[in-house]
């Protein structure tokens, strides 16, 4: 099957790119993964790899030419394949079909692509040494978040040690700093730690320890959202599906993250992982703590699907029936304490994500609209950011988009 | 003699020992035009100390020693009655030479097949990627080369007042060519070399005294393992003096008088020969290292990084000349690393704890990784699993119940930190431990591997089970 080589948008700010050098020439055979062309962006030089095997049939953009992102640069296809229809395609259409942008040399951590050769693909076997496996499992490190440096991309001891250093886990942090024995003569009841409570302690100590948090708070007018929700639920009356405000927040966050991919990220020691899929965790209170079921690829889910999936997962979360892969590895998390009447709060980042959004109650508040005081439903949200990956302005821009989308839901259709 | 020597090469290797010849062959495999300069005058000349004066001929001698001991101590028990036999040191030496010759010729063959050009002569770095070679004929020639690997090895050292005389005060090299068996030989230094020669001379009927300055024979090995060897040596009549140093030497007409000092004061030992096995020094003299900007470390070895690169771009140093551990397999492995690094191939530095160490005395000693003491000093929470040869069927059938395998593991992740072995043929068992470490196996994988029965290798599996608290046969 023919595959296109396209000037991909390699960074959020990239509008155009220059073809630096064709590593493969027209007519040369190409294997999937071969570097075909080098391109230069506003920030760096990147190597573009072939997504398929065959022959480089056509070079459409000469070396040193600068073209907008999305432009078709060349076509790889079988020797006798008809590529005329591809050549006729409009460039922007090709852009839409490009693979997610990857930084050259650091194609780590696309949740839906092999992060390293260690992984054979979704559901595939992760190559890791027995020692690395045991270290990872005792440290709470997910092997699929570790890049293997051993033969054939095998994950070995030093990779896990690096992951520990990078703060992908630090299990001993909690046990290593036990609370001092308090010997006051006050009666108390000793409550043993459940496994879940231990895990929470471990993760959060790890979080507030090595992760430098900062917080951004913003108030959002929820009038339009409440109206939209009512309308949608009227329309869905017969189906039995009910859209919650939280579902709209999840959907909107996914949309906003798509526009601000630098916030949909994680700090991973020697690099930042900018995830190319939006997986949103929803913090759910359960009798002994909290758990965060994760909705995968939310940007491509419809509101109704989000509503159904989250309802189903939250129910299973409360029954403790989620599999680990269903509550780990969110790229963004929403924690909503509005139902408890909390006005605003700050949430602790749950690694590996770099951000978490704390949502307070929507309350009637007097605000000044067009010079007059009006009573409006207002909601305060606080974004906690890992400063190693996300800077203040980046977080603020994301929040601005998020707020604008909620205040004018139609904007999401753009 | 100059015939065939070209004006320039991609790589010139200086020294054809186990480091140099392996580097040369590997580089040739990777497409380089390679020459290898060897200064030894001995026929064949290739293979260095290892093949000519070290590893290989001593193993041949130790086989003679083992056979002698078997006949003397075990044959009758085994149902083989030997009415009369005679020990012939000269014949044993002759056989060891034949084994060496066969292997050195093999290297010539490998050079030919891989297109490596051997040059017999002395090489000296002339700076600017040039090497001057003084050929056997006395002729000099200068060769240009893109890269250089220094693999000149080491030689035995001794103490002032104990200079080698080639006949009575000897190094391992002369010990391999003795025409007569000394009545009493004092071996100074209880490292691998000293212990192996003590074993050989004892088996051939000499009185042997081993003098060691440290409180343990085989000081680099695990204390418990060294203890097993010491008991075995003493049982065979080898005298052992630990924590004892040599002070002075008097050479009389017929005898040598060695003054030693131990915890109980000074003592004079009278003997016929003195074998100095107190360490080795690097062959770095007259190589033009300064001209080429190659620096030595504070111990006098050539300073290198993990890929064997010296302080000068394009010049590498491997094996003994680049420092401890002075082991042929370390040299060979470094030869591969250096050649691959020059060729830009992916390669990895050696991890110090992944180099096995073997001593072929009886019982044999083999180890890899940290000793129990080192592991504790490194801060590990240590779990130890041990299994004795006396509980192994194959060892008993072979009449060799002395020995044990000891696994030192990390209690937290059960990583195999070290494996220490003493007993029959353990030098062949250590490879499994090495593979286990290379693959980052934990104790569990070794325990879970099906080991053939009856084999000595079951002792390793049982030691792994013991580390997990569930050995079956003990």
pLDDT digits (tens, 9 = 90+) for A6-38: 887 766 667 778 888 888 888 888 887 788 888
* A138 touches B: beta carbon within 8 Å: yes
Of the given ranges (A36-40, A410-414, B70-74, B274-278), which has the lowest mean pLDDT?
A410-414
In contact, B239 and B383? CB cutoff 8 Å: no
Q: B440, B448, B449: which to substitute to probe chain A, counting the most A Cβ within 10 Å?
A: B440
Domain B363-467 = CATH 3.30.390.30: yes
pLDDT value at position A93?
36
Over 70: is that where the pLDDT of B148 sits?
Answer: yes
Question: Nearest chain B Cα to A155, which residue?
Answer: B440
- ipTM > 0.85 for the complex: no
Question: Nearest chain B Cα to A133, which residue?
Answer: B413
pLDDT value at position B288?
95
Over 70: is that where the pLDDT of A384 sits?
Answer: yes
CATH number, domain B8-54+93-155+281-352, options 3.40.140.10, 3.50.50.60, 3.40.190.10, 3.30.1360.30? 3.50.50.60
CA A303 to chain centre: 18
Domain with CATH 2.40.50.100 in chain A: 3-96
Q: Which long-range contacts (CB under 8 A, 24 or more apart) does B345-350 make?
A: B345/B30, B347/B307, B349/B305, B349/B306, B349/B307, B350/B306
Angle value at C-alpha A227, between A223 and A230, nearest 5 degrees: 140
Question: Nearest chain B Cα to A157, which residue?
Answer: B440
Are the Cβ atoms of A129 and B414 closer than 8 angstroms? no
What is the spatial distance between Cα A207 and Cα A214, in angstroms, rounded to a whole number? 12
* A131 touches B: beta carbon within 8 Å: yes
* B445 touches A: beta carbon within 8 Å: yes
Are the Cβ atoms of A132 and B415 closer than 8 angstroms? no
CATH number, domain B169-278, options 3.40.50.80, 3.40.50.300, 3.50.50.60, 2.60.120.10? 3.50.50.60
In percent, the amount of chain A with pLDDT more than 70 equals 78
Q: Cα distance from A134 to chain B (closest Cα, Å)?
A: 6
Residue B362 annotated in active site: no
What is the spatial distance between Cα A388 and Cα A269, in angstroms, rounded to a whole number? 9
Q: A118, A129, A131, A171: which to substitute to probe chain B, counting the most B Cβ within 10 Å?
A: A131
Confirm whether B169-278 and B363-467 share one CATH topology. Answer: no
Over 90: is that where the pLDDT of B308 sits?
Answer: yes
How far is CA B276 from each of CA B181, B465, B469, rounded to the nearest angstrom? 16, 42, 44
Domain with CATH 3.30.559.10 in chain A: 212-413
Mean pLDDT of chain B: 94
Nearest to A47 by CA among A11, A80, A19: A19
* A151 touches B: beta carbon within 8 Å: no
Give the model confidence (pLDDT) of A323-338 as tens digits: 777 888 888 999 999 8
Q: Could you write out the three-class secondary structure of chain A?
A: CCEEEECCCCCCCCCEEEEEEECCCCCCEECCCCEEEEEECCCCEEEEECCCCEEEEEECCCCCCEEECCCEEEEEECCCCCCHHHHHCCHHHHHHCCCCCCCCCCCCCCCCCCCCCCECCCCCCECECHHHHHHHHHHCCCHHHCCCCCHHHCECHHHHHHHHHCCCCCCCHHHHCCCCCCCCCCCCCCCCCCHHHHHHHHHHHHHHCCCCEEEEEEEEECHHHHHHHHHHHHHCCCCCCCCCHHHHHHHHHHHHHHHCCCCCEEECCCCEEECCCCCEEECEEECCEEECCEECCHHHCCHHHHHHHHHHHHHHHHCCCCCHHHHCCCCEEEEECHHHCCCCCCCCCCCCCCEEEEEEEEEEEEEEECCEEEEEEEEEEEEEEECCCCCHHHHHHHHHHHHHHHHCHHHHHC
* A156 touches B: beta carbon within 8 Å: yes
In percent, the amount of chain A with pLDDT more than 90 equals 22
Average pLDDT over residues A208-223: 85
Are the Cβ atoms of B441 and A130 closer than 8 angstroms? yes
Are the Cβ atoms of A157 and B440 closer than 8 angstroms? yes
- Per-residue confidence at A180, pLDDT binned at 50, 70, 90? very low
Give the model confidence (pLDDT) of B38-61 as tens digits: 998 655 578 888 888 899 999 999
Q: Cα distance from A171 to chain B (closest Cα, Å)?
A: 13
Q: Which residues of B touch A132 (CB under 8 A)?
A: 440
Are the Cβ atoms of A132 and B440 closer than 8 angstroms? yes
CATH number, domain A3-96, options 3.60.40.10, 3.90.1150.10, 3.40.50.9100, 2.40.50.100? 2.40.50.100
Of B412, B414, B439, the CB nearest to A129: B439
pLDDT value at position A67?
83
Mean pLDDT of chain A: 78
Over 80: is that where the pLDDT of B456 sits?
Answer: yes
Are the Cβ atoms of A134 and B440 closer than 8 angstroms? no
* A375 touches B: beta carbon within 8 Å: no
* B58 touches A: beta carbon within 8 Å: no
Over 50: is that where the pLDDT of A183 sits?
Answer: no
In percent, the amount of chain B with pLDDT more than 70 equals 99
What is the spatial distance between Cα A60 and Cα A87, in angstroms, rounded to a whole number? 9
Give the model confidence (pLDDT) of B369-378 as tens digits: 999 999 999 9
The domain covering A212-413 belongs, at the CATH homologous superfamily level, to Chloramphenicol acetyltransferase-like domain (3.30.559.10)
Q: Count other Cβ atoms within 10 Å, centred on residue B392.
A: 28
Are the Cβ atoms of A157 and B415 closer than 8 angstroms? yes
Output the pTM of the full model.
Answer: 0.61
Task: Please report, for chain B, the start and end positions of each structural domain, with discontinuous segments joined by +.
Answer: 8-54+93-155+281-352, 169-278, 363-467
Give the model confidence (pLDDT) of B387-429 as tens digits: 999 999 999 999 999 999 999 999 999 999 999 999 999 999 9
Give the model confidence (pLDDT) of B339-390 as tens digits: 999 999 888 889 889 999 999 999 999 999 999 999 999 999 999 999 999 9
Query: Cβ contacts of residue A336 below 8 Å, gap of 6+?
Result: A246, A249, A282, A283, A359
Give the model confidence (pLDDT) of A114-164 as tens digits: 334 444 444 457 889 999 999 988 888 888 888 888 877 899 998 888 888
Over 80: is that where the pLDDT of B237 sits?
Answer: yes
What is the spatial distance between Cα B149 and Cα B343, in angstroms, rounded to a whole number? 13
* A135 touches B: beta carbon within 8 Å: yes
């Amino acid at each position: 099957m023919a595959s296109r080589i396209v000037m991909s948008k390699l960074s959020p700010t990239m509008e155009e790119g220059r073809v630096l050098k064709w590593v493969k020439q027209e007519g040369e055979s190409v294997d999937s993964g071969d570097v075909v062309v080098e391109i230069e962006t506003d920030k760096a030089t990147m190597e573009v790899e072939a997504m398929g095997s065959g022959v480089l049939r056509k070079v459409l953009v000469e070396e040193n030419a600068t073209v907008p992102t999305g432009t078709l640069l060349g076509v790889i296809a079988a020797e006798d394949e008809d590529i005329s229809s591809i050549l006729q395609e409009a460039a922007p259409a090709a852009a839409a079909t490009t693979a997610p942008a990857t930084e050259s040399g650091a194609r780590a951590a696309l949740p839906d692509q092999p992060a390293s050769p260690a992984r054979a693909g979704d559901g595939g076997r992760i190559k890791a040494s027995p020692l690395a496996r045991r270290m990872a499992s005792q440290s709470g490190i997910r092997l699929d978040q570790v890049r293997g440096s051993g033969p054939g991309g095998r994950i070995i001891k030093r990779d896990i040690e690096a992951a520990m250093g990078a703060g992908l886990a630090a299990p001993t942090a909690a046990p290593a700093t036990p609370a001092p024995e308090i010997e006051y003569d006050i009666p108390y009841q000793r409550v043993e730690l459940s496994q879940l409570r231990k895990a929470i302690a471990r993760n959060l100590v790890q979080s507030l320890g090595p992760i430098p948090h900062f917080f951004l708070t913003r108030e959002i007018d929820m009038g339009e959202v409440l109206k939209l929700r009512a309308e949608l639920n009227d329309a869905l009356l017969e189906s039995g599906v009910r859209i919650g405000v939280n579902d709209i927040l999840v959907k909107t966050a996914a949309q906003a993250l798509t526009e601000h991919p630098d916030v949909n990220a994680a700090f991973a020691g020697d690099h930042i992982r900018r995830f190319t899929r939006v997986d949103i965790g929803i913090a759910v209170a359960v009798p002994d703590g909290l758990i965060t079921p994760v909705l995968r690829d939310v940007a491509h889910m419809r509101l109704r699907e989000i509503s159904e999936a989250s309802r189903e997962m939250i129910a299973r979360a409360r029954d403790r029936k989620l599999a680990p892969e269903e509550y780990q590895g969110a790229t963004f998390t929403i924690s909503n304490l509005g139902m408890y009447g909390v006005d605003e709060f700050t949430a602790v980042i749950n690694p590996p994500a770099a951000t978490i959004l704390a949502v307070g109650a929507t309350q009637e508040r007097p605000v000044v609209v067009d010079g007059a005081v009006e009573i409006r439903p207002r909601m305060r949200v606080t974004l906690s950011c890992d400063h190693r990956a996300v800077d203040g302005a980046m977080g603020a821009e994301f929040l601005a988009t998020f707020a604008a989308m909620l205040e004018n839901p139609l904007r999401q259709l753009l | 003699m100059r015939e065939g020597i070209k004006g320039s090469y991609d790589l010139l290797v200086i020294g054809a020992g186990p480091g140099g010849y392996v580097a040369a062959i590997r580089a040739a495999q990777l497409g380089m035009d390679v020459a290898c300069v060897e200064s030894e005058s001995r026929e064949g000349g290739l293979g260095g100390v290892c093949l000519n004066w070290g590893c290989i001929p001593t193993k041949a001698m130790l086989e003679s020693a083992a056979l002698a001991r078997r006949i003397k101590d075990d044959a009758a028990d085994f149902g083989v009655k030997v009415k009369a036999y005679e020990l012939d040191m000269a014949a044993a030496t002759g056989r060891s030479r034949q084994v060496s010759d066969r292997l050195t010729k093999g290297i010539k063959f490998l050079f030919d097949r891989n297109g490596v050009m051997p040059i017999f002569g002395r090489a000296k770095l002339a700076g600017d990627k040039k090497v001057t070679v003084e050929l056997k004929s006395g002729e000099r020639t200068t060769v240009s080369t893109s890269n250089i690997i220094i693999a000149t090895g080491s030689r035995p050292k001794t103490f002032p007042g104990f200079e080698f005389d080639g006949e009575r005060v000897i190094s391992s090299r002369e010990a391999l060519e003795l025409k007569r068996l000394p009545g009493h030989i004092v071996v100074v230094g209880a490292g691998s070399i000293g212990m192996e020669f003590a074993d050989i001379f004892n088996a051939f009927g000499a009185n042997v005294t081993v003098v060691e300055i440290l409180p343990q024979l085989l000081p680099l090995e695990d204390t418990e393992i060294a203890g097993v060897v010491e008991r075995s040596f003493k049982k065979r009549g080898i005298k052992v003096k630990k924590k004892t140093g040599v002070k002075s030497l008097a050479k009389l007409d017929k005898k040598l008088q060695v003054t030693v000092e131990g915890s109980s004061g000074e003592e004079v030992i009278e003997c016929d020969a003195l074998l100095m096995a107190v360490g080795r020094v690097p062959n770095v003299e007259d190589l033009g290292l300064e001209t080429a900007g190659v620096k030595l470390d504070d111990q006098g070895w050539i300073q290198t990084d993990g890929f064997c690169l010296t302080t000068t771009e394009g010049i590498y140093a491997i094996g003994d000349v680049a420092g401890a551990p002075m082991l042929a397999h370390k040299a060979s492995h470094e030869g591969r690393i250096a050649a691959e690094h020059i060729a830009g191939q992916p390669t990895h530095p050696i991890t110090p704890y992944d180099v096995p160490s073997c001593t072929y005395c009886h019982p044999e000693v083999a180890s890899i990784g940290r000793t129990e003491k080192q592991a504790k000093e490194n801060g590990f929470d240590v779990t130890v699993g041990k299994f004795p040869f006396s509980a192994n069927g194959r060892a008993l059938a072979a009449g060799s119940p002395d020995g044990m395998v000891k696994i030192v593991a990390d209690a937290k992740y059960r990583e195999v930190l070290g494996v220490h072995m003493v007993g029959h043929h353990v030098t062949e068992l250590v490879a499994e431990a090495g593979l286990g470490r290379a693959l980052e196996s934990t104790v569990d994988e070794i325990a879970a591997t099906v080991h053939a029965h009856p084999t000595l290798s079951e002792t390793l599996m049982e030691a792994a089970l013991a580390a997990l608290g569930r050995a079956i046969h003990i």
